[in-house]
């Protein structure tokens, strides 16, 4: 039995598309050929109803889930949307309007940059990389990196996995000497 969510929402088309996309990203099976789809619960902010229709059979159920929208602060160069400190997510999601030149590495996390707008130049260990809108850069734990340059219209999203909150999150980021990057 496969459940297909039909999204009913007063939210924007983008929110609806995100909810529909989540069914592909958050599928789970029971090992007997049954797959169900869900949407993560982040907090108790405005909810959106999903009608779950059964493809095989006639079951129709209504479920509630909570969703929220976080917005970038254009007065800050960078910031964080969500993570284990304010949700049940095991990943941290942030943004930046600038490529910050701060050579560092992460001991435990993978850092994933999704370039949404503009261009930037990044140094990863001894390699200089030029990125533009639509590119994704995955930094492995232990790889030293920094931004060298960025365009005036630059904007990226950044994901850390696993998401670490509080002191463990701060402690695993380690500043490195520019010489390690050949700078």
161 with 82, same domain: the answer is yes
Backbone φ and ψ for 178, nearest 5 degrees, come out as: -60, -30
Least Cα distance to 101 among 15, 176, 9, 17 occurs for 176
Q: How far apart are CA 75 and CA 37, in angstroms?
A: 37
Q: Other CB atoms closer than 10 Å to residue 154's CB: what's the count?
A: 21
33: domain range?
A: 3-66
Domain count, the chain: 2
48 with 92, same domain: the answer is no
Least Cα distance to 143 among 166, 100, 173 occurs for 173
34 with 102, same domain: the answer is no
98 with 34, same domain: the answer is no
Strand partners, 123: 128, 146
97 with 168, same domain: the answer is yes
Q: What are 152-176's pLDDT values in tens digits?
A: 999 999 999 999 888 998 899 999 9
Q: How far apart are CA 74 and CA 65, in angstroms?
A: 29
Q: Is there a domain that residue 106 lies in?
A: yes
Least Cα distance to 83 among 111, 121, 55, 116 occurs for 111
Q: Is there a domain that residue 72 lies in?
A: no
Q: What is the pLDDT of residue 71?
A: 80
163 with 117, same domain: the answer is yes
Domain stop point among 66, 86, 112: 66
Between CA 109 and CA 180, with CA 148 as vertex, the angle to 5 degrees is 60
Q: Is there a domain that residue 13 lies in?
A: yes
Q: What are 46-58's pLDDT values in tens digits?
A: 333 333 333 344 4
Q: What are 60-103's pLDDT values in tens digits?
A: 444 455 677 778 887 888 888 888 888 888 899 999 999 999 99
């Amino acid at each position: 039995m496969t459940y297909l969510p039909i999204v009913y929402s007063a939210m924007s088309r983008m929110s609806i598309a995100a909810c529909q996309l989540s069914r592909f990203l958050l599928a789970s099976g029971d090992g007997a050929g049954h797959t169900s789809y869900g949407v993560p619960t982040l907090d108790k902010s405005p909810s959106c109803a999903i009608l779950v229709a059964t493809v095989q059979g006639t079951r129709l159920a209504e479920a509630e889930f909570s969703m929220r929208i976080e917005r970038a602060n254009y007065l800050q160069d960078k910031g964080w949307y969500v993570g284990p400190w304010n949700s049940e997510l095991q990943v941290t999601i942030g943004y930046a309007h600038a490529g910050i030149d701060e050579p560092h590495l992460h001991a435990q996390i993978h850092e994933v940059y999704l370039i949404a707008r503009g261009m930037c130049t990044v140094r990863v260990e001894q390699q200089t990389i030029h990125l533009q809108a639509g590119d994704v850069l995955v930094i492995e734990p232990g790889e030293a990196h920094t931004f060298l340059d960025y365009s005036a219209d630059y904007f990226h999203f950044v994901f850390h996995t696993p998401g670490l909150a509080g002191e463990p999150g701060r402690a695993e980021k380690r500043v490195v000497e520019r010489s390690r990057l050949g700078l």
